[in-house]
Amino acid sequence: MNEQATLHLEYIYGPNWADVVAIVERAAQLTAEERERLNAAAAKAAESNLQNLQNAASAAGGLSGLLSGLGQGLGQQGQAQPLQIATKVAKEFGRSRNAQIATSVAGQALSPGAGAGDFGGILQSLGSIGAVTVVAQSVTAAVLGDLIGRGEFTQQVYDELMRPWQESLQA
């Protein structure tokens, strides 16, 4: 790859552009079985978040207590969720645009027919919402990978964002 192309990719995706490109390219090559594992990983995370929400409602004194804390973005024991932390750090360090572009491109790689007026592609996209979510989280983590240790974006947050992607492809 020539220097101009490298600079362009770094401008689009940030300093960890190679990691982002690797995820996008791999997302475009997913098998049906891998898509199902990604969808299952997203469903598992959604169930966990719902359980955390129910636990928070109980601890907050029911629905009124939960609603009074709504919008604070807090998970178990009052901690922010990894994607919320990543979003905050992306904004703080001027990487929001990089993350938005990366997630958009990754979504298109995962569902190439979507947006082209192809009804079959749209249906495929709807069946892959979980997979798109997992891929979006992983490219967001990749965009911010060089910021590990800055602010709240720790190795643990990075790993939590990458785990569903990595585990689904290793199985």
Which pLDDT value is given to residue 21? Answer: 95
pLDDT band per the 50, 70, 90 thresholds, residue 22: very high
Asked if residue 73 has pLDDT above 50, the reply is: no
Is the residue at 11 inside a domain?
no
Is the residue at 5 inside a domain?
no
**The pTM is what?**
0.76
Across the chain, how many H-helices and E-strands are there? 9, 0
Query: pLDDT tens across 123-169, in order?
Result: 454 456 888 899 999 999 999 999 999 989 999 999 999 999 999 99
Is the residue at 9 inside a domain?
no
Which pLDDT value is given to residue 118? Answer: 52
Which pLDDT value is given to residue 37? Answer: 92
Is the residue at 46 inside a domain?
yes
Distances in Å between the Cα of 94 and the Cα atoms of 68, 85, 89 are: 31, 14, 8
Q: Which is higher by pLDDT, 72 or 51?
A: 51
Backbone angles phi, psi at 17, to 5 degrees: -55, -35
Asked if residue 103 has pLDDT above 50, the reply is: yes
Question: Residue 54 contacts by C-beta under 8 Å, 6 or more apart in sequence?
Answer: none
Question: In total, how many domains does the chain have?
Answer: 1
Q: 105-127 in b/e burial notation, b at 16+ Cβ within 10 A? A: bbbbbbbeebeeeeeeeeebbee
Determine contact, residues 82/161, Cβ cutoff 8 Å.
Answer: yes
Alpha carbons 106 and 22: distance in angstroms, whole number: 10
Is the residue at 1 inside a domain?
no
Is the residue at 97 inside a domain?
yes
Asked if residue 38 has pLDDT above 70, the reply is: yes
Is the residue at 2 inside a domain?
no
The residue segments making up the domain with residue 128 are 16-170
